[in-house]
Structure 1
């Protein structure tokens, strides 16, 4: 029997469907919870049938967390905006600093170059609690505590090493002969970097930027200690859901769905860059 026959295709389709449902089931479950009341979620025995409601989303957008006979004012939508501003600005700054640095580490060999690159990477591995206390003291002295600039600066410990090392690998895969041929025509180093190296490494830069954005978006400890409610991201703002009056699971699920939307949309927008192949091997030795 040929594997291209219809029974084999049906079998593959069923297997892929089962695997997809297995991994997507938690996301689907949270999505369904966001349209249920607390009574529906805690019903025993649980039932897949319920009357959908938008009350959880309305409460979050209005900034009112309803509990057992009480209402708590929260700024969850502002927390989402804070997360987007902090993550986007941190990634942009890391791209401005990390892409040229990655190109330098990939193209040039200089004394202590590998040691410097590994030191930058070690910042990513270091536990945040190791540097939080001195950072807190410095931020209070410099007036950076509870500011966007301060958090964007400290987020470089997360995003910059990631972008530097990922993009460096892509630059190393780009043949330097292409750039040399471009420079022979009289173009400068900067022009060859912008017109040749960066476009060829664009898929790697896009992948590194997306991963750095996700890591910055998910950061919790730095924002918890170095910022107050004015600049706190969504990861810290989610603590407001746990109150003395009880836990509103439906509103927590709605908050999870809203917090995932920005990264999901960003991944869809950058998808075409992530699947682009590098134009390598244009010059044969």
Structure 2
């Protein structure tokens, strides 16, 4: 067994500490900014010693933003609720549609299947600005502009291809012999899919769903153009903090903390499934 010298251990610990500090510093600094006023944030040189205040969070929760030009009404909590509703609904719909489709592409090879799968994936490659103008015109013609249904529909361009291709790989890594043996016992295709394939690919499905949720949560351009203020998510609602009297850095930092909290809590809760899902299929043979 190879022994590690004390010097090597110290160097490894130092390197790990530097990496953690490098990646965690922006998060910690934004968290500290959320408890400071604009005057404290813009102080030169900056300092970590300050008198904390909850005014930034109070402004977000009450919807009253006090600036040099007066008091502005903001709908940050409404935007936050919109983000939760749009992301959860979009991912749920994508899982309902994408998981069976991924299983079909993985188990049933037919003529043109690869072309169809690649076409669906190409929706993820296309930049949003490429499809934004025709989508806007179609939505206005169909009456879907500025509606939750329209936003959830367009969010499928983000979530569905991602879930389809990721979950398809997990189904392909599962041995088909297990399902075949279950089918021989007299069970239907749907029962095999529900009782065998889904449990075995569960961690992969959870990982794909979490990644799709993060991408949907961070979407900006679709909601900016296709929705009005009362239906916009938090990524667009944050523009309200850029006012005529200046940029409200404290409120922006508090908004970042509040908007990151749901995705962070979900990632921590699903951490075990995420690790299992991302490692599923890493070793074949």
User: How high is the TM-score relative to the length of structure 2?
Assistant: 0.94
Partner of 1:30: 30
- CA deviations over 1:198-246 (Å, ceiling 9, x no partner): 1111111111111110111111111011100111001110110101011
Deviates more, 1:158-167 or 1:136-145: 136-145
Q: Does structure 1 conserve the Cα–Cα contact (< 8 Å) formed by 2:64 and 2:73?
A: yes
Whole-Å separation in 2 of the counterparts to 1:170 and 1:102: 9
Check 1:261–1:103 CA distance in 2 against 1; reply closer, same or farther (3 A cut). same
- Mapping of 1:187-266 within 5 angstroms? 187-266=187-266
Partner of 1:65: helix, strand, or coil? strand
Number of residues paired by the alignment?
Answer: 282
Cα distance, 1:9 vs structure 2: 3.4
Whole-Å separation in 2 of the counterparts to 1:278 and 1:41: 39
| Alignment pair present for 1:153 and 2:153 | yes
Partner of 1:122: 122
Whole-Å separation in 2 of the counterparts to 1:42 and 1:280: 47
Deviates more, 1:41-50 or 1:164-173: 41-50
- Mapping of 1:8-157 within 5 angstroms? 8-157=8-157
Check 1:22–1:228 CA distance in 2 against 1; reply closer, same or farther (3 A cut). same
Q: Does structure 2 conserve the Cα–Cα contact (< 8 Å) formed by 1:34 and 1:252?
A: yes
Cα distance, 1:5 vs structure 2: 5.2
Partner of 2:185: 185
Runs of 4+ in 1 over 6 A off after TM superposition: 277-281
Cα distance, 1:139 vs structure 2: 1.3
Cα distance, 1:48 vs structure 2: 1.8
Cα distance, 1:69 vs structure 2: 4.4
Partner of 1:162: 162
Cα distance, 1:279 vs structure 2: 11
Cα distance, 1:3 vs structure 2: 3.7
Whole-Å separation in 1 of the counterparts to 2:43 and 2:239: 25
Whole-Å separation in 2 of the counterparts to 1:273 and 1:224: 33
Partner of 1:45: helix, strand, or coil? coil
Partner of 2:176: 176
Check 1:14–1:139 CA distance in 2 against 1; reply closer, same or farther (3 A cut). same
Deviates more, 1:63-72 or 1:96-105: 63-72
Whole-Å separation in 2 of the counterparts to 1:218 and 1:42: 27
- CA deviations over 1:17-72 (Å, ceiling 9, x no partner): 11101011111111110111111111122222111111101110111122114111
Partner of 2:230: helix, strand, or coil? coil
Q: Does structure 2 conserve the Cα–Cα contact (< 8 Å) formed by 1:64 and 1:71?
A: yes
Check 1:37–1:279 CA distance in 2 against 1; reply closer, same or farther (3 A cut). closer
Whole-Å separation in 2 of the counterparts to 1:53 and 1:3: 51
CA-atom RMSD in angstroms: 2.0
Q: Does structure 1 conserve the Cα–Cα contact (< 8 Å) formed by 2:204 and 2:280?
A: no
Q: Does structure 1 conserve the Cα–Cα contact (< 8 Å) formed by 2:56 and 2:250?
A: yes
Cα distance, 1:188 vs structure 2: 1.0
Check 1:279–1:73 CA distance in 2 against 1; reply closer, same or farther (3 A cut). closer
